[in-house]
Amino acid sequence: MKTHPLRSVLFVCLGNICRSPLAEGVFRSVLAEQGKAESVRIDSAGTNGYHTGEAPDDRSVSVAEKHGIDISGQRCRQLKPEDFLNFDLILGMDRANVTAIELRRPANATAETGLLSTIALGENNQIPDPYYGTGVDFERVYLMVLKASRGLSKRF
């Protein structure tokens, strides 16, 4: 674990369409409330490139907007080898994401990787994929991401 103040974080889910774009937007909002957003690089990616170049899922955009956060300008991208050198933290939303991240980790990686809830809160909770769910599921994911973002902000 890095002990110096962190300056960058990459949130990762499967397709970079639901959870990780929401986490990017929520974490940026939490840091903005604390006056720290300008000094931290925040991004998101997917372990797969299914949606590369697309905007986040409309339901993620909607739940973020409901809470005063605009993620509509984000575009999906896939996790790249250089991300392991360019970010202090790379955080997966669930254990399958963390496994996929570790499988892509190059030998010269400098990023700390792990499960968002573990790194942020010391918990072992997964952020479930709401893709096949309802608006209620997206709201639940928002609340989980908000809680984790508040915890994670203490490391920045």
Residues carrying an active site annotation: 13, 19, 129
Instruction: Provide the sign of the torsion angle of the four alpha carbons 71, 75, 77, 82, taken in this order.
Output: negative
* Helix residue ranges per DSSP H, the chain: 19-33, 58-66, 83-86, 95-104, 116-121, 135-152
Strands 89-92, 41-46: pairing kind? unpaired
Q: What would you report as the CA-atom Rg of the chain, rounded to the nearest whole angstrom?
A: 14
The encoded tokens of residue 23 equal: 């986490």
